[in-house]
DNA sequence: CTACCGATCCCCT
DNA sequence: GGGGATCGGTAGA
Protein backbone atom coordinates (compact mmCIF):
# COMPACT_ATOMS: atom_id res chain seq x y z
CA UNK A 1 0.00 0.00 0.00
CA UNK A 2 1.16 3.46 -0.76
CA UNK A 3 2.42 5.48 2.18
CA UNK A 4 0.23 8.40 1.15
CA UNK A 5 -3.21 8.31 -0.28
CA UNK A 6 -4.07 11.95 0.01
CA UNK A 7 -2.47 12.98 -3.26
CA UNK A 8 0.59 14.86 -2.07
CA UNK A 9 2.96 11.94 -2.12
CA UNK A 10 6.25 13.72 -1.62
CA UNK A 11 7.87 17.04 -0.77
CA UNK A 12 8.65 17.76 -4.47
CA UNK A 13 4.98 17.37 -5.26
CA UNK A 14 4.12 19.71 -2.40
CA UNK A 15 6.61 22.25 -3.71
CA UNK A 16 5.03 22.00 -7.13
CA UNK A 17 1.57 22.52 -5.70
CA UNK A 18 2.63 25.65 -3.83
CA UNK A 19 4.30 27.00 -6.95
CA UNK A 20 0.95 26.90 -8.73
CA UNK A 21 -2.38 28.76 -8.39
CA UNK A 22 -3.34 29.72 -4.86
CA UNK A 23 -6.73 27.99 -4.62
CA UNK A 24 -5.49 24.42 -5.22
CA UNK A 25 -2.51 25.23 -3.01
CA UNK A 26 -4.82 26.32 -0.18
CA UNK A 27 -6.82 23.10 -0.39
CA UNK A 28 -3.65 21.06 -0.58
CA UNK A 29 -2.28 22.60 2.61
CA UNK A 30 -5.21 21.23 4.59
CA UNK A 31 -4.14 18.15 6.48
CA UNK A 32 -0.43 18.93 6.32
CA UNK A 33 1.59 19.37 9.48
CA UNK A 34 2.90 22.68 10.78
CA UNK A 35 6.04 22.11 12.85
CA UNK A 36 7.97 24.34 15.25
CA UNK A 37 11.33 22.85 16.19
CA UNK A 38 13.06 25.06 18.73
CA UNK A 39 15.71 22.49 19.55
CA UNK A 40 14.04 21.52 22.81
CA UNK A 41 10.50 20.57 21.93
CA UNK A 42 8.84 19.68 18.66
CA UNK A 43 5.49 21.36 18.38
CA UNK A 44 3.36 20.03 15.56
CA UNK A 45 -0.23 20.08 14.45
CA UNK A 46 -2.55 19.40 11.58
CA UNK A 47 -3.62 22.34 9.45
CA UNK A 48 -7.42 22.34 9.37
CA UNK A 49 -8.38 25.85 8.21
CA UNK A 50 -6.83 28.22 5.68
CA UNK A 51 -7.61 31.27 3.55
CA UNK A 52 -6.30 32.12 0.08
CA UNK A 53 -5.15 35.62 -0.81
CA UNK A 54 -4.23 36.84 -4.26
CA UNK A 55 -2.61 39.85 -5.87
CA UNK A 56 -3.76 43.27 -7.13
CA UNK A 57 -7.11 41.84 -8.26
CA UNK A 58 -7.95 40.71 -4.72
CA UNK A 59 -9.26 43.65 -2.71
CA UNK A 60 -8.71 41.78 0.55
CA UNK A 61 -5.04 41.01 -0.12
CA UNK A 62 -2.13 42.88 1.37
CA UNK A 63 -0.79 42.91 -2.18
CA UNK A 64 -3.79 44.82 -3.54
CA UNK A 65 -1.71 47.99 -3.87
CA UNK A 66 1.39 46.33 -5.13
CA UNK A 67 4.66 45.53 -3.49
CA UNK A 68 5.70 47.27 -0.27
CA UNK A 69 8.32 46.48 2.35
CA UNK A 70 5.68 44.81 4.48
CA UNK A 71 4.31 42.40 1.88
CA UNK A 72 7.52 41.74 -0.06
CA UNK A 73 7.54 38.07 0.94
CA UNK A 74 4.21 37.56 -0.84
CA UNK A 75 6.05 38.27 -4.08
CA UNK A 76 8.92 35.96 -3.20
CA UNK A 77 9.48 32.24 -3.76
CA UNK A 78 6.65 29.82 -2.99
CA UNK A 79 6.92 27.60 0.04
CA UNK A 80 8.36 30.41 2.09
CA UNK A 81 6.64 32.18 4.97
CA UNK A 82 4.90 35.53 4.86
CA UNK A 83 4.55 36.78 8.42
CA UNK A 84 2.82 40.01 9.37
CA UNK A 85 1.56 41.65 12.52
CA UNK A 86 -1.96 42.99 13.05
CA UNK A 87 -3.57 45.10 15.74
CA UNK A 88 -0.26 45.61 17.39
CA UNK A 89 -0.17 42.23 19.05
CA UNK A 90 -0.81 39.28 16.74
CA UNK A 91 1.53 37.54 14.32
CA UNK A 92 -0.07 35.72 11.40
CA UNK A 93 1.56 33.03 9.26
CA UNK A 94 1.06 32.58 5.53
CA UNK A 95 2.51 30.13 3.06
CA UNK A 96 3.63 31.95 -0.08
CA UNK A 97 2.30 30.49 -3.32
CA UNK A 98 2.68 31.01 -7.04
CA UNK A 99 5.62 31.79 -9.26
CA UNK A 100 8.38 34.06 -8.04
CA UNK A 101 7.20 37.62 -8.62
CA UNK A 102 3.51 36.71 -8.34
CA UNK A 103 1.77 37.79 -5.14
CA UNK A 104 -0.34 35.13 -3.46
CA UNK A 105 -0.33 33.39 -0.12
CA UNK A 106 -2.36 31.11 2.13
CA UNK A 107 -3.14 32.21 5.68
CA UNK A 108 -3.01 29.41 8.27
CA UNK A 109 -6.14 29.99 10.36
CA UNK A 110 -6.35 26.89 12.54
CA UNK A 111 -4.24 23.89 13.54
CA UNK A 112 -5.09 20.79 15.56
CA UNK A 113 -2.23 20.19 18.03
CA UNK A 114 -0.55 16.80 17.74
CA UNK A 115 2.67 17.02 19.76
CA UNK A 116 3.93 19.29 22.57
CA UNK A 117 0.50 20.65 23.40
CA UNK A 118 1.82 21.97 26.70
CA UNK A 119 4.56 23.91 24.91
CA UNK A 120 1.83 25.53 22.82
CA UNK A 121 -0.13 26.47 25.92
CA UNK A 122 3.04 27.93 27.41
CA UNK A 123 3.61 29.95 24.24
CA UNK A 124 0.04 31.23 24.48
CA UNK A 125 0.75 32.41 28.02
CA UNK A 126 3.92 34.12 26.87
CA UNK A 127 1.90 36.14 24.39
CA UNK A 128 -0.81 36.91 26.94
CA UNK A 129 1.82 38.36 29.24
CA UNK A 130 3.70 40.14 26.45
CA UNK A 131 0.54 41.86 25.27
CA UNK A 132 -0.54 42.57 28.83
CA UNK A 133 -4.06 41.32 28.25
CA UNK A 134 -4.20 40.39 31.89
CA UNK A 135 -5.34 43.57 33.60
CA UNK A 136 -8.42 42.24 35.38
CA UNK A 137 -7.33 38.64 35.51
CA UNK A 138 -4.21 38.37 37.61
CA UNK A 139 -1.14 36.69 36.10
CA UNK A 140 -1.86 33.60 38.15
CA UNK A 141 -5.39 33.58 36.86
CA UNK A 142 -4.15 33.95 33.29
CA UNK A 143 -1.74 31.06 33.78
CA UNK A 144 -4.53 28.86 35.10
CA UNK A 145 -6.77 29.78 32.20
CA UNK A 146 -4.04 29.02 29.68
CA UNK A 147 -3.30 25.66 31.30
CA UNK A 148 -6.95 24.76 30.96
CA UNK A 149 -7.23 25.72 27.31
CA UNK A 150 -8.89 22.86 25.41
CA UNK A 151 -6.55 21.34 22.83
CA UNK A 152 -8.75 22.35 19.94
CA UNK A 153 -8.72 26.02 21.03
CA UNK A 154 -4.96 26.37 21.50
CA UNK A 155 -4.20 27.07 17.82
CA UNK A 156 -7.65 28.14 16.60
CA UNK A 157 -7.58 31.48 14.79
CA UNK A 158 -4.63 33.01 12.92
CA UNK A 159 -3.38 35.02 15.90
CA UNK A 160 -3.53 31.96 18.11
CA UNK A 161 -1.67 29.84 15.54
CA UNK A 162 1.02 32.50 15.61
CA UNK A 163 1.14 32.48 19.40
CA UNK A 164 1.04 28.69 19.85
CA UNK A 165 3.87 28.22 17.34
CA UNK A 166 5.83 31.30 18.48
CA UNK A 167 5.68 32.84 15.01
CA UNK A 168 7.74 36.01 14.87
CA UNK A 169 8.89 38.56 12.35
CA UNK A 170 12.14 36.69 11.88
CA UNK A 171 10.11 33.86 10.34
CA UNK A 172 9.09 36.18 7.51
CA UNK A 173 10.66 34.92 4.28
CA UNK A 174 11.96 31.69 5.79
CA UNK A 175 11.79 28.47 3.76
CA UNK A 176 8.96 26.41 5.20
CA UNK A 177 9.90 23.42 3.03
CA UNK A 178 13.41 23.16 4.47
CA UNK A 179 13.38 19.88 6.47
CA UNK A 180 15.86 21.44 8.89
CA UNK A 181 13.97 24.69 9.30
CA UNK A 182 12.85 25.81 12.75
CA UNK A 183 9.37 26.48 11.33
CA UNK A 184 8.33 24.12 8.58
CA UNK A 185 5.65 22.15 6.78
CA UNK A 186 5.68 18.38 6.74
CA UNK A 187 3.64 15.70 5.06
CA UNK A 188 1.04 14.16 7.30
CA UNK A 189 1.77 10.59 8.36
CA UNK A 190 -1.94 9.97 8.28
CA UNK A 191 -3.14 7.47 5.74
CA UNK A 192 -6.68 7.31 4.53
CA UNK A 193 -9.24 8.93 2.31
CA UNK A 194 -8.96 12.64 1.69
CA UNK A 195 -10.90 14.56 4.35
CA UNK A 196 -14.02 16.42 3.29
CA UNK A 197 -13.34 20.10 2.68
CA UNK A 198 -15.84 22.96 2.94
CA UNK A 199 -15.46 26.49 1.57
CA UNK A 200 -16.86 29.88 2.52
CA UNK A 201 -16.10 33.62 2.61
CA UNK A 202 -12.94 34.83 4.30
CA UNK A 203 -13.06 36.33 7.78
CA UNK A 204 -12.45 39.96 8.61
CA UNK A 205 -12.23 41.27 5.05
CA UNK A 206 -15.31 43.47 5.06
CA UNK A 207 -13.11 46.46 4.30
CA UNK A 208 -12.52 45.09 0.79
CA UNK A 209 -15.13 45.46 -1.94
CA UNK A 210 -18.24 43.32 -2.01
CA UNK A 211 -16.81 41.16 -4.78
CA UNK A 212 -13.61 40.31 -2.92
CA UNK A 213 -15.38 39.81 0.40
CA UNK A 214 -17.80 37.35 -1.19
CA UNK A 215 -15.16 35.07 -2.70
CA UNK A 216 -15.36 31.60 -1.08
CA UNK A 217 -11.62 31.49 -0.47
CA UNK A 218 -11.70 30.13 3.07
CA UNK A 219 -11.31 26.36 3.31
CA UNK A 220 -11.56 24.02 6.25
CA UNK A 221 -11.67 20.32 6.99
CA UNK A 222 -15.29 19.49 7.74
CA UNK A 223 -15.97 18.62 11.34
CA UNK A 224 -12.73 19.87 12.88
CA UNK A 225 -13.38 21.32 16.32
CA UNK A 226 -10.32 23.56 15.90
CA UNK A 227 -11.91 25.64 13.16
CA UNK A 228 -12.03 29.28 14.19
CA UNK A 229 -15.40 30.83 14.79
CA UNK A 230 -16.83 27.51 15.95
CA UNK A 231 -16.83 28.05 19.65
C1' DC B 1 -25.58 32.53 24.33
C1' DT B 2 -24.50 37.05 21.36
C1' DA B 3 -22.49 41.59 20.80
C1' DC B 4 -19.58 45.11 21.55
C1' DC B 5 -15.22 47.24 22.28
C1' DG B 6 -10.47 48.26 23.82
C1' DA B 7 -5.62 47.03 23.38
C1' DT B 8 -1.44 48.33 20.70
C1' DC B 9 2.03 49.13 16.93
C1' DC B 10 3.77 48.75 12.27
C1' DC B 11 2.99 50.46 7.94
C1' DC B 12 0.81 53.14 4.49
C1' DT B 13 -4.33 55.10 -1.10
C1' DG C 1 -2.29 60.40 11.53
C1' DG C 2 -5.46 56.40 10.57
C1' DG C 3 -6.45 51.74 10.12
C1' DG C 4 -5.98 46.74 10.30
C1' DA C 5 -6.38 39.00 7.12
C1' DT C 6 -7.49 39.53 15.84
C1' DC C 7 -8.51 38.30 20.43
C1' DG C 8 -10.82 37.92 24.73
C1' DG C 9 -13.06 40.30 28.59
C1' DT C 10 -17.32 42.23 29.78
C1' DA C 11 -22.20 43.35 29.60
C1' DG C 12 -26.62 42.27 28.75
C1' DA C 13 -30.47 39.22 26.99
Question: Mean pLDDT for chain A?
Answer: 92
What's the CA gap between A157 and A166, in Å, rounded? 14
A4-16 pLDDT, tens digit per residue, is 445 566 778 899 9
Q: Which residue has the higher pLDDT, A20 or A134?
A: A20
pLDDT for A214 equals 95
Cα–Cα distances in Å, from A85 out to A71, A91, A167, A172?
Answer: 11, 4, 10, 11
Q: Considering only CA atoms, which of A106, A111, A18, A20 is closest in space to residue A62? A: A106
Residue A129, pLDDT score: 87
> Which nucleotide is closest to A85, CA to C1'?
B10
pLDDT digits (tens, 9 = 90+) for A46-63: 999 999 999 999 999 999
Residue–nucleotide distance: A83 CA to B8 C1' (Å): 18
With distances taken from each CA to the C1' atom of nucleotide B13, the closest residue turns out to be A65
Nearest nucleotide to A70 by CA–C1' distance? B11
CB-CB contact of A81 with A176 (8 Å):
yes
pLDDT range class, residue A130, cuts 50, 70, 90: confident
Residues near chain B strand, CB within 7 A: A 65-66, 68-71, 85, 87-89, 131-132, 231
pLDDT at A140: 76
State, as a whole number of angstroms, the distance between the CA of A192 and the C1' of B12: 46
Q: pTM of the full predicted structure?
A: 0.93
Side-chain-side CA neighbours of residue A191 (13 Å): 4
Q: Give the 3-state secondary structure of residue A30.
A: coil
Q: Residue A209 and residue A59: Cα distance in Å, rounded?
A: 6
- A128 alpha-carbon distance from chain centroid: 19
- What is the rounded distance in angstroms from the CA atom of residue A172 to the CA atom of residue A81? 5
User: Residue A230 above 90 pLDDT?
Assistant: no
Amino acid sequence: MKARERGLGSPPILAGLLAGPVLPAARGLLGLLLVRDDGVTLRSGRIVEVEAYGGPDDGASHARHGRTPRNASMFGPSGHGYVYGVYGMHMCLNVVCGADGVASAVLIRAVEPLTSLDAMREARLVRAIATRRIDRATPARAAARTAELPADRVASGPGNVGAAFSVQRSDDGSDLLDPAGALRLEMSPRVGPAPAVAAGPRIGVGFSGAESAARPWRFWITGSAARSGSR
